[in-house]
Chains A and B, each alone.
Chain A
């Protein structure tokens, strides 16, 4: 139907452009929020299926049974203005079919037999397949059941048989949860929405204390924590912290969160919080003294504080990398795990290496000799002492590499530089000189 036709039928129709990306984002937020009912939630991965998956295995009794859970869920979503249909079945395929084509009065599907009167479109098939089936008079799922499977597969593709098996539970179907179910998770819901920063901090403090107990029982420490803030208007805020080594000291973890909590806008109020230990690492139980528990060592605490405020990529340790090319000889590693093998090359190296070797104008009296003078960044330097050449060839797997002849140069003012010449005299293109580093 065209827009003009639709407007002719319903003059006060509200028009909005199609926004699949926006819809998907909204679905993702809804899926996160449904985490209150089950830790295993995901938006529908089928391209046209604007639905949510919830695996409520083992959590229905917390809400007073399956039917009550569905009622609560639908009520919550409709309170936010979403027209919702929900169904609960033994398999994802059956639930999908029943939510769209089933009996709204009985949302919990008791037996797969009830699927038989549903149209074939309920099987999550491509439109072309559905049309082909309908053209042959196979309108309902029940019509397919008595037919021989090999012929069905040959005629309509494997997908049909596969979807049929998924709906009937003959084939397993996995739902990939939106976020992996963290083994350590604390959920905190408030009877009254909270709004103040102090309240939020106090809530996080309590959650961290509880999480710390959980971690301690599992002999684990947190490496990365994610806090999700569910606002009352259906929006979501998130902040994460990372630690350099496994840690479960609630006070320390709280300090890392403290900066980020100040940036969270509570909006109209916060109704729930969820704290996940997204990444953990084994941490042996604390050794406690008789009088007090052993204090955490200072270096990890400092590194965590710096890394969370400055950004993890801005804090590093320098480890040797086996390469003779100066700019490739150092690798930057996260500050926490300083495990490195290999050793630093012996010899004299500059303390400051330019990010990019800078081209200089240099004059050498004879080939393979150091320059007599050179001009760098506008200043003329007269060479007083020189040492070299030291030839450094790039590794053979770097195709564009040309070997460099390095010279250690001292100018008349006592400044020491690392220069190199790329290329040779007497060949084309002519050699070029670069300044690469500054010696102490």
Chain B
């Protein structure tokens, strides 16, 4: 039985960390990945970063697929449209539908320059009209990322950054996605390398999964639980 003072202190720390945000709170379910995340899902109104595991081709298929799956889960729950700020060309729309991301709910912008992308990103993060905004970026200044995170927290719009350069410090979660030999459905190795409220192990990974995209259920499916750390027991979880 924890003392009331201890409980009060814990709540204050959670508030300072931005954990309890009235109105913007809420999560999107990522299916079987949820129980490894401290919020039992992907926090809405926060900054999430996805980066490819290998410095491969210009647009990494695995990272793109995982991002599309994440956006698909977000729109399915929220019902609002998604803005995709593409670097060179819009994503190939026929491929998106399989990830639950209906192209009719998608607005694509090609801002061109990095500064314009950042401006559009912040404008979108401030707006409450979107379920999420995805931007293809190459790194980001810490101050810009922090501003973006605050804007996202106020409006409740989830920001997903598909980043091909150095890690972005303000991100709430950072996912590293690489391709794996598939059976039939696309299969990826997904490393959660940063997660607010959890610390990584010696290899720099919080949790590692082998994930498949289930096209019929429109959700992630675990192939192997290669988690480096056991899931937190239910009662110690924050929130």
Contacting pair B106 A314 (CB below 8 A): no
Asked if A157 is an interface residue, CB under 8 A from chain B, the answer is: no
Asked if A430 is an interface residue, CB under 8 A from chain B, the answer is: no
Note all chain A residues with C-beta closer than 8 A to B106.
317-318
1/0 contact string of A304-320 vs chain B (CB within 8 Å)? 01100110001111111
Q: Determine the distance from Cα of A338 to Cα of B54 in the docked complex, in whole angstroms.
A: 37
Asked if B154 is an interface residue, CB under 8 A from chain A, the answer is: no
Looking at A309, A314, A335, the one whose CB has the most chain B CB atoms below 10 A away is A314
Which residue of chain B is the closest to A335 with respect to CB atoms? B107
Asked if A203 is an interface residue, CB under 8 A from chain B, the answer is: no
Number of interface residues of A (CB under 8 A): 47
Q: Determine the distance from Cα of A416 to Cα of B81 in the docked complex, in whole angstroms.
A: 28
With A318-B106, A438-B64 as known contacts, state yes or no: A301 contacts B91, CB within 8 Å: no
Note all chain A residues with C-beta closer than 8 A to B59.
351-352, 438
In whole Å, how far is A42's beta carbon from the nearest beta carbon of chain B? Answer: 38
- Which of A81-89, A278-286, A326-334, A365-373 forms contacts with chain B? A326-334
Contacting pair A415 B179 (CB below 8 A): yes
Q: Determine the distance from Cα of A338 to Cα of B66 in the docked complex, in whole angstroms.
A: 26
Looking at A306, A332, A344, A440, the one whose CB has the most chain B CB atoms below 10 A away is A440
Contacting pair A299 B81 (CB below 8 A): yes
Which residue of chain B is the closest to A307 with respect to CB atoms? B109
Contacting pair A344 B112 (CB below 8 A): no
Contacting pair A440 B93 (CB below 8 A): no
Which residue of chain A is the closest to B97 with respect to CB atoms? A344
1/0 contact string of B53-68 vs chain A (CB within 8 Å)? 0101101111011101
Q: Determine the distance from Cα of A91 to Cα of B201 in the docked complex, in whole angstroms.
A: 90
Note all chain B residues with C-beta closer than 8 A to A316.
90, 107-110
With A302-B130, A310-B116, A384-B181 as known contacts, state yes or no: A352 contacts B61, CB within 8 Å: yes
1/0 contact string of B88-121 vs chain A (CB within 8 Å)? 1111111111110001101111111000100110
Contacting pair B56 A415 (CB below 8 A): yes
Note all chain B residues with C-beta closer than 8 A to A299.
81, 127, 129-130
Contacting pair B109 A306 (CB below 8 A): yes
* In-complex Cβ contact of B187 among A298, A309, A414 (8 A): A414
Q: Determine the distance from Cα of A52 to Cα of B236 in the docked complex, in whole angstroms.
A: 83
Q: Determine the distance from Cα of A326 to Cα of B179 in the docked complex, in whole angstroms.
A: 24
Contacting pair A351 B61 (CB below 8 A): yes
Q: Determine the distance from Cα of A410 to Cα of B120 in the docked complex, in whole angstroms.
A: 36
Note all chain A residues with C-beta closer than 8 A to B220.
none
Asked if B159 is an interface residue, CB under 8 A from chain A, the answer is: no
* In-complex Cβ contact of A438 among B57, B109, B110, B112 (8 A): B57
Note all chain B residues with C-beta closer than 8 A to A384.
181
In whole Å, how far is A252's beta carbon from the nearest beta carbon of chain B? Answer: 13
Note all chain B residues with C-beta closer than 8 A to A309.
116, 119-120
Which residue of chain B is the closest to A348 with respect to CB atoms? B98
In whole Å, how far is A417's beta carbon from the nearest beta carbon of chain B? Answer: 8
Asked if B186 is an interface residue, CB under 8 A from chain A, the answer is: yes
Q: Determine the distance from Cα of A283 to Cα of B139 in the docked complex, in whole angstroms.
A: 43
In whole Å, how far is B55's beta carbon from the nearest beta carbon of chain A? Answer: 11
Contacting pair A351 B92 (CB below 8 A): yes
Contacting pair B103 A344 (CB below 8 A): yes
Contacting pair A439 B107 (CB below 8 A): no
Contacting pair A302 B127 (CB below 8 A): yes
* In-complex Cβ contact of A414 among B66, B96, B108, B180 (8 A): B180
Looking at B59, B93, B109, the one whose CB has the most chain A CB atoms below 10 A away is B93
Interface of B is mostly: mixed
Contacting pair B108 A318 (CB below 8 A): yes
Q: Determine the distance from Cα of A384 to Cα of B90 in the docked complex, in whole angstroms.
A: 29
Q: Determine the distance from Cα of A108 to Cα of B172 in the docked complex, in whole angstroms.
A: 78
Note all chain B residues with C-beta closer than 8 A to A302.
83, 123-124, 127, 129-130
With A344-B94, A440-B213 as known contacts, state yes or no: A315 contacts B107, CB within 8 Å: yes
Contacting pair B104 A338 (CB below 8 A): yes
Chain B's interface size range is 35 or more
Asked if B234 is an interface residue, CB under 8 A from chain A, the answer is: no
* In-complex Cβ contact of B120 among A310, A320, A385 (8 A): A310
Q: Determine the distance from Cα of A412 to Cα of B66 in the docked complex, in whole angstroms.
A: 20
1/0 contact string of B205-234 vs chain A (CB within 8 Å)? 000000001000000000000000000000
Contacting pair A377 B90 (CB below 8 A): no
Q: Determine the distance from Cα of A317 to Cα of B96 in the docked complex, in whole angstroms.
A: 13
Which residue of chain B is the closest to A352 with respect to CB atoms? B59
With A310-B120, A440-B61 as known contacts, state yes or no: A353 contacts B92, CB within 8 Å: yes
Q: Determine the distance from Cα of A320 to Cα of B83 in the docked complex, in whole angstroms.
A: 18
Asked if A340 is an interface residue, CB under 8 A from chain B, the answer is: yes
With A344-B97, A440-B213 as known contacts, state yes or no: A377 contacts B57, CB within 8 Å: yes
Asked if A290 is an interface residue, CB under 8 A from chain B, the answer is: no
In whole Å, how far is B155's beta carbon from the nearest beta carbon of chain A? Answer: 9
With A302-B124, A415-B61 as known contacts, state yes or no: A314 contacts B129, CB within 8 Å: no
Asked if B178 is an interface residue, CB under 8 A from chain A, the answer is: yes
Note all chain B residues with C-beta closer than 8 A to A440.
61-62, 64-66, 68, 95, 99, 186, 188, 213
Q: Determine the distance from Cα of A34 to Cα of B238 in the docked complex, in whole angstroms.
A: 71
Contacting pair A352 B64 (CB below 8 A): yes
Residues of chain A whose beta carbon lies under 8 Å from any beta carbon of chain B: 297-299, 301-303, 305-306, 309-310, 314-320, 326, 329-330, 332, 335, 338, 340, 344-345, 347-353, 355, 377, 384-385, 410, 412-416, 437-440
- Across the A-B interface, give the 10 residue pairs with the lowest CB-CB distance, nearest first: A440-B65, A414-B179, A298-B129, A299-B129, A349-B95, A349-B94, A318-B93, A353-B92, A438-B61, A352-B59
Q: Could you give 28 example pairs across A and B, Cβ below 8 Å?
A: A297-B129, A299-B81, A302-B127, A302-B130, A305-B123, A306-B109, A306-B123, A306-B124, A309-B116, A309-B119, A314-B110, A316-B109, A332-B108, A340-B104, A344-B103, A348-B98, A349-B92, A351-B61, A352-B64, A355-B89, A412-B181, A413-B54, A414-B179, A416-B182, A437-B92, A438-B57, A440-B99, A440-B188
